[in-house]
Amino acid sequence: MKQQHVENCNFSSWYPRFKNVTIRSKIIPLSKEFVDYLKTDGVVLPGKPSSLPRHEDDESDSEEWQNLEEDPEQATVEAPEFNDIDTKIKEAIQELGGEVFPKLNWSAPRDASWISHDNTLRCKSPGDIYLLLKSSDTIDRVLCDAFIHCEDNSTQTHDSFELILRKWQNIYPAMEFRCFVRNNELVAISQRDISNYYHFLAENEDEICADILNFYESKIAEKFPDTSYVFDVYKYADQKCTLIDFSPYGVPTNPLLFTWSELDTEVVPDLLFKVVPSAIGVQPGPFACSRLPQDMVDLTSGADVNKLVDFLNVGNLIRRPGEASDDDS
């Protein structure tokens, strides 16, 4: 994969060509100052200064909280202001019907949906959008490592970022599909929501494949600049399909129910179609660990061996025989 393949999947690169078959959207260029704000640690939303929560436990003797309560200057975090972007976001939300879902050039902050009031990416104000963007590891990777998997990757980073606001759609996750195109041929279709089992998908395989193949051949085939790529589509009940997004063919795009080695086999006799076959075949969602502390993720995945060793040592100390416990005293 080359950097140009990634650039071709940049939203503003493909949207003008496919705007008639995708969701209505607005593109807002982001200033360097706003991008730097997104890269900084912590979640302080633009606008009014943010006050740190005061400690309400009268019995606590924490010096840190006592110092904060005695000095109100220390309890306030200065919030940045982006009036121009704020205004553009409000105008775009109004033009798109009052509700939008955000993304940057390549990705949406889907891993941060847990922090919103309804566990979705639905946004009605600039503050909703800022909260999702600042809480997302996916967005951080877009800003810092957009070309990390490219063979011609260099130290130069992408420096033209955009906020894309898309008109909010009530989408049934079962009808989202990821489609894989290799050498200008649609070779595979995967259920997008692999963390749930939908019994009717396998029963309607022929209809689903026929509708998506027809959409690909009539609306997408040979119109995208690359010969191999991935696109996501939403299928309605009336055979109509809507384009959701494009992604590069290969890592880091998630192949979902396939593997990249499987998709790269030389001969694909027929269009491959995969859905979760039963409730037993359900897989964890791609953002299942997003709500857990990083230490817990490292422990369960084995990503940090030192933390795992420390955890086991603590367990051995707790279970060590011959030592009195609090209950024995």
Residue 249: per-residue pLDDT? 96
| pLDDT score, position 144 | 83
Q: What is the pLDDT of residue 286?
A: 56
- pLDDT value of residue 99: 98
- pLDDT per residue as tens digits for the range 167-209: 999 999 999 999 999 999 999 999 999 999 999 999 999 999 9
pTM of the model: 0.77
Distances (CA, A) of 103 to 122, 134, 171, 280: 11, 12, 16, 32
Cα 30–chain centre separation: 19
What long-range pairs does 63-69 form, CB within 8 A, spacing at least 24? Answer: none
Helix (H, G, I), strand (E, B) or coil at 45: coil
Q: Which of 150, 153, 196 is nearest to 175 (CA)?
A: 196
pLDDT computed for residue 58 by the predictor = 47
pLDDT less than 50: residues of the chain? 50-55, 58, 65, 74-75, 287, 289-292, 324-329
| pLDDT at residue 146, as a whole number | 78
Distance CA 13, CA 123 (A): 24
